[in-house]
A and B are shown apart, each in its own frame.
Chain A
Amino acid sequence: GAVVSQHPSRVICKSGTSVKIECRSLDFQATTMFWYRQFPKQSLMLMATSNEGSKATYEQGVEKDKFLINHASLTLSTLTVTSAHPEDSSFYICSARRTGRYNEKLFFGSGTQLSVL
């Protein structure tokens, strides 16, 4: 089956530093990837849609200058949390869209737990 790899699974950083999270589709090409965040006991909230070769589309209320998304290849999208602060601590999850002949499916990465001290 299709696999999406997300790295790192856990990161702890100091306030003010930047953190990069990678999302790779391992056995299919993904022109579209999505980035979600989840706070404890809350739903997954879509942050942005990442499109290969073009700018990401951000959801309302998500700061594009703070959450930089790069989708430079068909198998890799990165999310960089710039100048992280404690309120950015959250569980970040990516998903990749696999286009098939008859349907499309989304596959999720295993998530990244970010803790900002």
Chain B
Amino acid sequence: DQQVKQNSPSLSVQEGRISILNCDYTNSMFDYFLWYKKYPAEGPTFLISISSIKDKNEDGRFTVFLNKSAKHLSLHIVPSQPGDSAVYFCAVSYSWGGATNKLIFGTGTLLAVQP
């Protein structure tokens, strides 16, 4: 049973526009949420995270929104750039304070930013 779902396997966006990637989870006990970016044949790189006590966290062009009641988080990238083209994974954890414990990953969304 998939505890973390990214229902859009792919997304195509024009350069300069906003990219919105979505993630849903099933267990309300998760308290830390992360987004990773992954290129083919490489390991994931950390992008941004948010704890359950917040509903928004912003870092440059990247903003993560958390809706606890809906068990939903999203990653906004604005403006989108061709270099953002990659697979984006959301991940959840039970641990507060960082990505310290076991991470449960979503299935990923392939983002293609068109020049």
Contacts and interface: CB of A to CB of B under 8 A. Distances in A.
- If over half of B's interface residues share one DSSP class (helix, strand or loop), that class is named, otherwise mixed; here it is loop
Contacts of B44: 44, 93, 108
Contacts of A104: 97-100
Report, as a range, how many residues of chain A touch the other chain: 20 to 34
Given A43-B105, A43-B106, A104-B97, A9 B41 contact: yes
Interface in A1-37: 4, 6, 9-10, 34, 36
Contacts of A109: 43
A55 interface: no
Interface residues of B, number: 22
B45 A108 contact: yes
Contacts of B41: 9-10, 91, 110-111, 113
Nearest to A9: B41
B33 interface: no
A99 B65 CA distance: 26
- If over half of A's interface residues share one DSSP class (helix, strand or loop), that class is named, otherwise mixed; here it is strand
Interface of B: 2, 4, 9, 36, 41-46, 89, 97-100, 102-108
Contacts of B9: 41
Given A43-B89, A43-B107, A43-B108, A106 B99 contact: yes
B107 A42 contact: yes
A41 B38 CA distance: 12
Given A108-B43, A109-B43, A111-B42, A46 B98 contact: no
